[in-house]
Amino acid sequence: MPLTPEDDAFLRELHGNLADHPLEPGDRFYEPIHTLLDDDDPVWLMQRHVELNSVQSLQLFSGFRGAGKTTELFRLRSILADKGYVVLYADALDYLNPAEPVDISDLIMVLAGSFSDALDDLGLDAGRESFWTRFANFLTNTDLTIGGAEFKGEVAGPGPASSIKAGINIKAEFKTGSTFRQRLKTALSGRLSELKAESDAFFEDGIKAIQGVLGENRQVVFIFDQLEQLRGNYQNWQSVIRSVEQLFTVHLDKLTLPYIHAIYAVPPWLKFLTALEAPMTILPTVHLWNNDPDRSRFAPGWNVYRDLLRLRFGTGGIQRLFGPDSQRADACIDRLIGACGGHVRDLLRLFQELVKRVNALPVTDRVLDSTINAARRDFLPIALDDAKWLAEIAQRRDTALLQLDERSIERLSNFLDTHRVIYFVNGAAWYDIHPLIREEVKRVVEAGDGT
């Protein structure tokens, strides 16, 4: 029957409940997915790394789009805070342009600046000045000038007010002003050790400020999230890859922060491109099937997602959407869970798409079919060369990489970012292709072989 005003209000609320965004532990929609599964909990592994290193540490964390990485970092923050750590958090996208290569001098400044801002959020001062103002003074005191008359004048002007203004401008310009960043990089050429020393001094002052207020035995954790979003565009992808690779290989020692447990969220393709000296934890996709020839169902994965959906639907919501027949309702939910491939984001988007298409309650099989078909179309078309590689991944259950060159890494990263390929951990790490494209991949390969 047609939707009533009450039905429409229910669907609008449900659509909002199914929105995908990072969740804090304690949120009414939070589901502790990885603590409920049998695999190693990546948050627990990172927690233990911090706990087993008494003074400072460095570790890397990554996850593919839609896996719930930031939500898991929020869980880590909550756990460590409950254990007495002072946990500071910063979002790299507040400071960096993800479409541009990043130099080590860029990252040193951004780390110190974002740490400074996080201290302000806690109501703690790292001395008399923010890092941005302190850095403006550093430029002046070391006789460094930045091209561009207006900005140069603000840095070089007399008195603390000019330094504060310059500090504010540096922060504001850093994300959007690629020309400014290039001028700054040129100005700092050959002064990297001085910049690192200035940054480390600021971190040490920040630790003293924290311990002076909260106690001298308090350890500090700094989570720098979203650095994995550095991916460039179709014109400069390789230069961005090289810049990030250099950060975590050539310059890894410069990313160690004094007296701080540093956790960096990095692009997952780093694990393919180079051998890393820092420990790296990757958040896997929830696997709904086992790594066997028949892809037998992995029941814990399905149960976790059923529980997650019950939280989003609320009391009586499932029956209202799918009807009073509980067996049919369960079958409808399972069809959509099976079509999501294991990504939290894709699961929620499938159900949002379903809600958008509903024109009568309960949901008909026709609407369910159209929802899944729409999701499948998002993966299409698939080129023959891609289909052949995807078919090999599906058969071998690994990346099937022939060589670790930048072009191959770019293609594989695109497969993973678009969820055509999915990364799992079930004892060992393994890969598979998305269930919605299995038949299409087979069809494209067979058609290509027949020509």
275 and 397 together in one domain: no
Q: CB neighbours of 120 closer than 8 A, spacing ≥ 6? A: 130
**Residue 68 shares a structural domain with residue 151:** yes
Report CA dihedral (372, 328, 286, 68) to the nearest 10 degrees: 70
Rg of the chain over all Cα atoms, to the nearest angstrom: 25
Q: Left (φ > 0), alpha (ψ -120 to 50) or beta: where does 82 sit?
A: alpha
Question: Does the residue 33 lie in any domain?
Answer: no
The CATH number assigned to the domain holding 103 equals 3.40.50
Whether the link from the prior residue into 381 is cis, omega within 30° of 0, is yes
**Residue where one domain finishes, among candidates 234, 266, 283:** 283
Under 8 Å between Cβ of 92 and 110: yes
Residues 201, 243, single domain; the answer is yes
Predicted pLDDT at 153: 39
352, 377, 402 — which closes off a domain? 377
Q: What is the pLDDT of residues 383-420, one digit of tens each?
A: 999 999 999 999 999 999 877 777 788 888 889 989 99
User: Which structural domain, as residue segments, surrounds residue 195?
Assistant: 40-283
Give the tokens for residue 228: 């994995």
Average pLDDT, integer, range 237-266? 90
225 and 347 co-located in one domain: no
Spatial separation of the C-alpha atoms in residues 221 and 87, rounded to whole Å: 5
Query: Do 389 and 345 belong to one domain?
Result: no
Q: What are phi and psi of 369, to 5 degrees?
A: -60, -45
pTM of the model: 0.89
Is 80 exceeded by the pLDDT of residue 169?
Answer: no
Q: Strand pairing partners for 244?
A: none
**Is 31 among the domain residues?**
no
pLDDT at 237: 72
* Number of domains observed in the structure of the chain: 3
Residue 28 belongs to some domain of the structure: no
Q: What is the pLDDT of residue 184?
A: 77
Q: What is the pLDDT of residues 366-375, one digit of tens each?
A: 999 999 999 9
Q: Please report, in angstroms and rounded to a whole number, the separation of the first and last CA atoms in the chain.
A: 50
Query: Could you tell me if 438 and 365 lie in one domain?
Result: no
Last residue of a domain, one of 253, 283, 313: 283
Residue 166's pLDDT is what? 53
Q: Do 367 and 409 belong to one domain?
A: no
For the segment 114-140, what is each residue's pLDDT rounded down to a tens digit? 999 999 888 776 555 788 888 888 877
